[in-house]
């Protein structure tokens, strides 16, 4: 606008007066330091304006350009360095596919059970979710966990468990299939919204499937007539305070009857050879070394 107001002090390469477009063009090539020389100031006044206004603007432009470039390069270097560090430490870690409500809740439960923060890797296709995971201190990989290369970047072959909790059931099936193909021995637990899709996840290789909609519906049904039952269930699911559900092994020297174990802590079930025996099952009355007891314990909290 300054050049246009004083357009009589500028000439193009042919010696003609400049138009509004010529003034915009002149300002652009001057500030970006291109300087073709086809539009020039021809009076002392216009050259003084260029010296006092255009030159500082040109320097500011260069500072912003160079500063932004250096910032991007530095951030990429820091990201690659941090990535190399946590990748070098990956072993027997847990991959959380989806950093939504379910993924964050799963991580909180892991941490409440004294799981190391640096053994958690988050995978999510949303850049905002990745930034949130990094701010929380977790290693994170930006991408779709149903893609093999993305899971390889998260170290799936060295992981001990994979938590699959995306927003869509079909995505959960693809993630489970991919994770099981890349790691046949990992424990894969998956969340699904609709119960009719649970069998697809089991067939895809999930060791455990949580049906979120049915679970919420059952709690709603209990709350209608027995709200305190829901309070107890919520207490059991909240790790680190109140009542906790734990799983422990029977070792040599332990009491070998269920009745004797019940004196220490209420036993809900016995796991024997990967078979779940309820406490009222006759086979659970006599315990064996190597059995796992699912029992209640009281946690005083912090």
Q: Which CATH architecture has domain 90-215?
A: 3-Layer(aba) Sandwich (3.40)
Model pLDDT, residue 302: 42
Residue 94 has φ and ψ, to the nearest 5°, of: -115, 130
Alpha-carbon distance of 94 to 54, in angstroms, equals 56
pLDDT exceeds 60 at position 223: yes
Alpha-carbon distance of 113 to 6, in angstroms, equals 73
Per-residue pLDDT tens digits for 181-219: 999 999 999 999 888 899 999 999 999 999 887 787 877
Alpha-carbon distance of 160 to 184, in angstroms, equals 10
Per-residue pLDDT tens digits for 23-78: 777 777 777 766 666 776 666 777 677 767 777 777 787 788 888 888 888 877 77
- Highest CATH level, class, for 240-299: alpha beta
- Any idea where the domains of the chain sit in the sequence? 2-84, 90-215, 240-299
Per-residue pLDDT tens digits for 118-153: 889 999 999 999 989 988 988 889 999 999 999 998
Helix residue spans in the chain (DSSP H): 2-5, 20-31, 44-49, 55-88, 101-112, 127-135, 148-153, 169-182, 198-204, 212-225, 227-237, 258-262
Model pLDDT, residue 125: 94
Prediction pTM value: 0.63
Q: Which CATH architecture has domain 2-84?
A: Orthogonal Bundle (1.10)
């Amino acid at each position: 606008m300054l050049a246009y107001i004083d357009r009589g002090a500028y000439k193009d390469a042919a010696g003609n007066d400049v138009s509004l477009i010529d003034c915009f063009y002149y300002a652009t090539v001057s500030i970006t330091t291109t300087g073709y020389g086809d539009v020039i100031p021809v009076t002392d006044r216009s050259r003084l304006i260029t010296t006092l206004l255009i030159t500082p603007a040109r320097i500011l432009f260069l500072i912003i350009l160079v500063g932004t470039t250096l910032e991007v390069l530095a951030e990429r270097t820091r990201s690659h360095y941090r990535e190399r560090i946590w990748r070098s430490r990956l072993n027997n870690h847990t991959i959380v596919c989806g950093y939504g409500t379910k993924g964050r809740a799963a991580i909180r439960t892991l941490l409440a059970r004294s799981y190391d923060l640096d053994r958690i890797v988050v995978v999510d296709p949303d850049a905002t979710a990745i930034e949130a995971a990094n701010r929380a201190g977790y290693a994170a990989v930006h991408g779709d966990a149903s893609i093999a290369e993305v899971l390889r970047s998260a170290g799936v072959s060295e992981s001990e468990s994979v938590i699959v909790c995306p927003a869509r059931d079909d995505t959960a099936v693809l993630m489970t299939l991919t994770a099981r193909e890349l790691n046949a021995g990992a424990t894969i637990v998956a969340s699904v919204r609709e119960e009719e899709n649970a069998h697809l996840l089991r067939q895809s290789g999930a060791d455990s499937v949580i049906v979120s909609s049915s679970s919420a519906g059952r709690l709603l049904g209990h709350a209608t007539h027995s709200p305190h039952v829901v309070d107890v269930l919520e207490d059991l699911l909240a790790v680190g305070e109140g009542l906790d559900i734990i799983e422990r092994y029977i070792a040599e020297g332990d009491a070998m009857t269920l009745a004797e174990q019940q004196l220490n802590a209420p036993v809900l079930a016995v796991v024997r050879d990967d078979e779940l025996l309820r406490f009222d099952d006759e086979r659970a009355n006599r315990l064996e070394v190597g059995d796992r007891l699912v029992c209640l314990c009281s946690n005083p909290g912090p």
